[in-house]
Amino acid sequence: MSVQSALLNEAAGPAGQHLNAQVLRADARREQLRLMVLLAPSLFLVCAIIIVPIGWLFWLSLFDESGALSAANYARFFEQASYIRTFVTTFKVAFIVTGACVLLGYPLAYMLSQLPRRAASICLIFVILPFWTSVLVRTYAWLVILQRKGLINSWLIDLGVISQPLSLANNFSGVVIGMTHILLPFLVLPLYASMKTIDTDCLRAGMNLGAGPAATFRQIFFPLSLPGLASGVVIVFVLCLGFFVTPALMGGGKVVMWAMRMEQTTSLYSNWGAGAALGVVLLVVTLALLGLFQWLLGARATGVWSSR
């Protein structure tokens, strides 16, 4: 017996090495187990609170009111005009807000990237502070500024520019202004971070070779800043699609966006199947956009969160 096993060991190579490998493997397994124990509570919570309920909603969306398997909840989106209106409104708001964020955010990020370190970090406070201020507070501020008897209207009337108050809040423009303000930092922060990594030697080389400031910017700086811009654009657009607070408070009930529609169908009408189907499509669109972005640029759009 012992002779046999000794012979076997002999055949497998030097006995010590064999045993050593086994111990090492067992050790690695134990290490994996320990790390999993550290992760387990967090993973459990995320799965229990986010993944399982969403999976459940997805399951629900596959059945109609009588409990039969059907695509009725999804077919509705193409048949009912009110759903189509919601999608059109949502995408319209998302495109306009993203565009406004690019127009306002690019010059700001560019300026921040060109300022001396101290000045830039002071200016950055003005970007980060709103980022960390409650969305509700900022929406309230815009309500105060834009409403009929609000600041803008009373100033314009006092100055004699207009005689009747403009309707700025409780409509489409209010939603767009409020959302642009709230989402602007999500574009500026990743864009600024990527602009900081542009090698100034490239710019200097361009100027050395005779390019003027405008040509240097257009041909060197701008193309190099595009990946950062793209990640900001994707994150802003995706956040727009699922935005709830600002349209709910500033839309005056006239601007119904995707997330509001979900809230209405589930809370008001308790139509879980329809609400769940809306959620599933929203999630799929969101993940598809983020996935497309990641595939095209090989970067994760969630990086914005670590930059704040």
Partner 1 sequence: MSADIGLPISHRQRLWLYGLGGLVLLFLIAPSVIIVIMSFSDSTLLQFPPRQWSLRWYQSYFQSLEWRDATIVSVKVAIMTVLMATPLGTAAAYAINRGTLRFNGTINALLTASLIIPVILIGIGTFFLYARIGLNNTLTGLVVAHTVQALPLVVLTVLSGLRSYDMNQERVARSLGAGRVAAFWQVTMPQIRFSIVSGALFAFITSFDEVVVSLFISGGETTTLTRRMFSALRDQIDPTIAAISTCLIALSVLLLSLAQIFGRRH
Beta bridge partners of 286: none
100, 109 contact by CB (below 8 A): no
Q: Which range binds partner 1 by CB under 8 A, 9-17, 85-93, 99-107, 159-167?
A: 99-107
Query: From the CB of 256, what's the least distance to partner 1, in Å?
Result: 13
Least gap, CB of 280 to partner 1 (angstroms): 9
Which of 227, 130, 228, 141 has its CA nearest to residue 183?
130
Within residues 53-92, the interface with partner 1 by CB under 8 A covers 53-54, 56-57
Identify whether the C-beta of residue 244 lies closer than 8 Å to the C-beta of residue 259.
yes
As a whole number of angstroms, the distance between CA 156 and CA 152 comes to 6
112 binds partner 1, rule: CB under 8 A:
yes
C-alpha 6/C-alpha 113 separation (Å) is 70
> Is the CB of residue 109 less than 8 Å from the CB of residue 194?
no
In the complex with partner 1, the residue whose CB is nearer, 5 or 133, is 133
Phi and psi for 211 in degrees, rounded to 5? -75, 140
C-alpha span between 153 and 145 (Å, rounded) = 8
Which of the ranges 15-23, 63-71, 75-83, 277-285 carries the binding residues for partner 1, by CB under 8 A?
277-285
CB 22, min distance to partner 1, A:
19
Per CB under 8 A, which region of 3-11, 63-71, 84-92, 130-138 contacts partner 1?
A: 130-138
Q: Minimum Å distance from CB 279 to partner 1?
A: 4
Which residues from 165-184 bind partner 1, rule CB under 8 A? 181, 184
Of 128 and 224, nearer to partner 1 (C-beta) is: 128
Q: How far is the CB of 193 from partner 1 (least distance, A)?
A: 13
Q: Give the one residue of 66, 134, 163, 164 binding partner 1; rule: CB under 8 A.
A: 134
Asked whether 130 and 215 are in contact (CB, 8 A), the reply is no
Map the footprint of partner 1 across residues 196-225, applying CB under 8 A: 200, 203-204, 207, 213, 216
Choose, by CB under 8 A, the member of 144, 162, 205, 292 that binds partner 1. 144
Pattern 4-43, partner 1, x by CB under 8 A: ------------------------x--xx-xxx-xx-xxx
- CB of 192 or CB of 227, closer to partner 1: 192
**Among the listed residues 5, 17, 20, 114, the single contact to partner 1 using CB under 8 A:** 114
Which residues have a Cβ under 8 Å from the Cβ of 69 and sit 6 or more positions away? 62, 63
Q: What are the φ and ψ backbone dihedral angles of 163, each rounded to 5 degrees? A: -105, -35
Buried b (16+ CB within 10 A) or exposed e, 187-225: bbbbbbbbbeebeeeebeebeeeebeeeebeeebbeebb
Site for partner 1 in 38-57 (CB under 8 A): 38-39, 41-43, 45-54, 56-57
The least distance separating partner 1 from the CB of residue 219, rounded to whole angstroms, comes to: 14
Member of 62, 156, 283, 299 binding partner 1 (CB under 8 A): 283
- Three-state SS for 101-126 is HHHHHHHHHHHHHHCCHHHHHHHHHH
The residue count of the chain comes to 308
